[in-house]
Amino acid sequence: MKDLVLVAINAKYIHTNLAVRSLKAQLPDFDVEIVETSINDPFHRIVKLLLDQNTRRIGFSCYIWNMEMVLKLAEVIKKANPLVQIIFGGPEVSFDGAALLQAHPFCDLIIQGEGEAKLKALLECSNRREGLKTIPGLCYRNSMEQIFTIPDTEALPLSQLVFPYINVDMASLTNKIIYYETMRGCPFCCAYCLSSAKQGLNMLGLDRVFAELDFFIESGVKQVKLVDRTFNCDISRAKRIFNHMIERGGTTNFHFEMTGDLIDDEMLDLLTTAPPGLIQFEIGVQSTSPETLSAIGRKISVTRTAEHVKRMLVPQNIHIHLDLIAGLPFESYDIFRESFNQVIALGPDMLQLGFLKCLKGTRIRNEAEIHQYQYASYPPYEIISNKYISAEELYQLRQIEVLVDRYYNSGVFKQSMNYIFEDKIFLTPFEFFERFSCYWEDQGYYDVGKSKEQIFGILHDFFKDHQQVDQIDEWLRYDWLAQGNFRMPMGMSDQAPDKEWIFEFLKEPHNIHKYLADFIDLAPKKIYNQVKFQYFSAAFLSRLSGASLSTADQPGLVLFTATGLQSVIQ
């Protein structure tokens, strides 16, 4: 019989769970198995999977995205097998363990806070109830149904914990996101963040960090997301890690959460030497309103952050996400609009528009009455309204978020968005998304799924009566073809040369060598279906290339391939 089954229920199939792997790595003397699923898997399939485990204990890793399913699973499993011990752990159960035990009798134990040492102590004391009172952070009920919570103590230094992936078959995680940490805690006290609930930093030594990063690279991991709250809080340490990664190279992408104003000139210079695809940054701006930033304890310089982001974007070797949070104190709809416009003007690769979550253990939740927060009583405790922004306004922002993801963050409309913003087709980017979201609402587009062709077609139709419709049509056509799409969406014009001209072009060896070197050994008929020629105006091509426009300039041809390669035919 197994000693323990650790259950991870992730938000998506592509995700993995760091916590259960760290817990298992500390328990080499016990028979521990990991069962990993997602919230999208069939409920009764997960129940069957867990009931088939011959185990004494089942431990659930609890988060805001899976708590509803965890409670349902735990209840069914306990009623089906009353002898199995049910254990909860994780951030979602670390602040109200006693109340959870009282409300859910099918849960036997709750481990509050960091769990590695506590779980090991729990397994070592076996079923001796008298031993439970010696385990810090443990919440349990005794034989008289009385509930006890043992005070927590300081966590073990990270250097004393075994590497979570030491005995993991990395091939089984191919094409999944791997999570990793080089530190726990955060030196800052942002009111909305769980890391603010406990002060202090627990950092892993650089020798371990270098060796473990090398492990991921050598294993061929596609992406590693570091869960360190503020990776560059120790800027010297961060630079040494970046330098090691740049020298080491490899194909693994590493994602870091950064604070933009803590980046210095030396780090900026170092980052310009990083090969494309190695490093990805997520930088939390959250708001550009000084009053809001002060209220949430976020002591950052928006000006320095903006300067650093613009400099990092120039080499185009680092993918940069910028974050905003709607629903923060003192931020009305109009003030949020200003934050949105200032941040998107920096040109990040992604603008992540999130909504405030009033998490257990955070100051923002404790100040709910001050700011008249209305938030959902169930996970993820998202904001409904506050004294500064109404529920209707927040739902308008939610609809805008959908379009920001589809039309900006997707990268599919890169040139079209640049044109719309730079030419001020609307006064500001926010006004464009606001008006476009009203159009989606009026047409009922939010209520049904949309194909790629339809997403393009909707934007094209939105501008069909606009005075600059011809120019917008060109940019949309370019973006569509640049993605390797050759069948035009409904309503989009096809400006291709005639078929005879195309075949004459493809028969000429010089043209193939100059523009289609990857197709040298193919006959024209084989090449024909893998390329697309399109005429564009001289003004469009001039703007695309950055060259000045001559009055003698004529429309020109652009050649696209299915792989997204584009060439202007000279």
3-class secondary-structure state, position 157: coil
Write down the pLDDT at residue 142: 84
Q: Whole-angstrom Cα distance, residue 164 to residue 24?
A: 8
Helices 429-443 + 414-422 axis angle, to 10:
120
* Domains of the chain, first to last: 4-149 (3.40.50.2300), 169-387 (3.20.20.70), 390-398+406-481 (no CATH), 495-569 (no CATH)
User: What is the pTM assigned to this prediction?
Assistant: 0.92
3-state secondary structure 526-556: HHHCCEEEEEECHHHHHHHHCCCCCCCCCCE
Q: Whole-angstrom Cα distance, residue 449 to residue 211?
A: 45
DSSP characters over 127-138: T-GGGGGGSTTE
3-class secondary-structure state, position 139: strand
Is the alpha carbon torsion for 396, 398, 401, 402 positive or negative? negative
From first to last of its 570 residues, the chain has per-residue pLDDT tens of: 999 999 999 999 999 999 999 999 999 999 999 999 999 999 999 999 999 999 999 999 999 999 999 999 999 999 999 999 999 999 999 999 999 999 999 999 999 999 999 999 999 986 566 678 889 999 998 888 889 999 998 888 999 999 999 999 999 999 999 999 999 998 888 999 987 667 778 999 999 999 999 999 999 999 999 999 999 999 999 999 999 999 999 999 999 999 999 999 999 999 999 999 999 999 999 999 999 999 999 989 999 999 999 999 999 999 999 999 999 999 999 999 999 999 999 999 999 999 999 999 999 999 999 999 999 999 999 999 999 999 999 999 999 999 999 999 999 999 999 999 999 999 999 999 999 999 999 999 999 888 999 999 999 999 988 888 889 999 999 999 999 999 888 888 899 999 999 999 999 999 999 999 989 889 999 999 999 999 999 989 988 887 776 655 788 899 999 887 788 887
Write down the pLDDT at residue 382: 97
User: What is the residue whose two structure tokens read 């009282």?
Assistant: 102
3-class secondary-structure state, position 200: coil
Tokens linked to 332: 């009305």
Write down the pLDDT at residue 134: 87
User: What is the residue whose two structure tokens read 């569509």?
Assistant: 480
HSE (CB half, 13 Å, CA atoms) of 538?
8
3-class secondary-structure state, position 193: coil
Write down the pLDDT at residue 196: 67
Write down the pLDDT at residue 252: 96
Q: Whole-angstrom Cα distance, residue 493 to residue 143?
A: 76
Write down the pLDDT at residue 126: 67
